Chain A
């Protein structure tokens, strides 16, 4: 199957500053993919290159098998982009904005789909409001709606939830999830790592224009951050030596890395064999934030 997005050896410099330093990336159809990285990592630059908003210096980019330069018409038809910046055209109402956007993609009489988008984004009652009269959150919704008028199979959302209230976040995720279930490929950038962890099945981490980690979310979590067993012994006793490899002490608590759940039993057995009584025990799950911090600090090999 043709990948939804294929990026090969893409480079881009802005007056000397290398924003993309040779990106390789393949995202399959139907994936829910996360593109993470600190500010300035090159996420928006990569998205802009895919959308044809900027031209890469080197390498090739394809959307659903269409080269974004030589076959830009088809590439753009297959792609919907929600830009990071909150931009809008102040002259028009919400509905006019969406009709015009449909027209740009060659679609007339798109009202049925426009209404469906509006209702899914809780925008239906603002359809005839002027864009300039909308709050920031509402403008953000319209921006999402604009990216969807042409039913693109591939949808890229560039920090859609930055500075957005909880309600919109929930509305948005519900809708985006549904689109994904209907077969749309979703690519997401966000600084909220728990969002990425919850929704994205696969994640790429960018740093200084390079992919420094690329794997399925569970693999990333496993690879860079194990589960931990946190326990406290009766009488705040010390943990007998040899119970586990790396042990960390925090106050009266002990943290032991746990690579697999199966390892728990031997640990417990050893503790018991040493005559200690466990008073408290919890298994702490790894989270993406740990992974992110580790990957960014070590500079990381993919």
Chain B
């Protein structure tokens, strides 16, 4: 157990020590999105009758920031220690692969939540939000962070250099997050893209998360929860299997 808690502590310390880059910077980025999009679109787009566009946008931005940062945390930590060779410090001790997995995923989730909370607090200065069903908010925040933390472990294992990771990020993570309804409701899309969006798991994370704030969503939060849980189970199973086999860690 001490092995696990130490690895978790180390992973938390790692991002906390450079909190300016890992927490403050993404909060600032989210603020810029909010200022620009809400300024340009506030009076042009109305998704739900009772919700202003700015208020609609905030949960999407929070979730997007959480997802991207959770992914960035586990993936960059792994690739960095693999490239620098310091991964041996974790591989030499008797740390089980499940403890290894849990420590990286939880640390990623914590970074996601720290960034999400930061974005939330700052946006509260600009707009008032409701928290109609806080349990949904928490459930999707945690699931979203865990899913992307897990995906980050997977990508960090697979990648052998920083380029690989950048490709993963640019060609998978970015399109998935942007095409997920952060800035709009998928009902405003043409039918074809509506269909495509329904295959994007991140759409469900954002939709369910938003439901927690307004009690309104494109699909039922229960459906979103089912999709998110399935995703997490499948990703975890794959990642744990790879870790167990020593994939690209213990050649």
Binding site for B on A (CB under 8 A): 14, 51-55, 72-74, 76-77, 79, 81, 83, 85, 87-92, 96, 100-108, 146, 150
Contact = CB atoms under 8 A, between A and B. Distances in A.
Contacts of B94: 72-74, 76-77, 105-106
A53 B250 contact: yes
B246 A87 contact: no
Contacts of A51: 91-92
A106 B246 contact: no
B250 A87 contact: no
A54 B86 contact: no
B2 A103 contact: yes
B9 A53 contact: no
Contact of A89 (B6, B89, B250): B89
A293 B47 CA distance: 81
Tell me whether chain B's interface is mostly helix, strand or loop, or mixed: helix
A107 to B, nearest CB: 7
A101 B91 CA distance: 11
Interface string B74-108: 00000001001110111111111000000000000
Q: Count chain B CB atoms within 10 A of each CB in A54, A85, A89, A102 and give the residue with the most.
A: A89
Interface residues of B, number: 28
Interface in B158-193: none
Interface stretch (B10-18, B54-62, B201-209): B10-18
B89 A76 contact: no
A146 B91 CA distance: 13
7 contacts: A53-B250, A77-B94, A87-B84, A90-B84, A91-B13, A104-B7, A108-B2
B251 interface: yes
A89 B86 contact: yes
B5 interface: yes
A91 B95 contact: no
Contacts of A96: 13
Contact of A103 (B9, B86, B251): B9
Contacts of A87: 84-86, 88-89
Contact of B93 (A88, A105, A108): A105
A105 B1 CA distance: 10
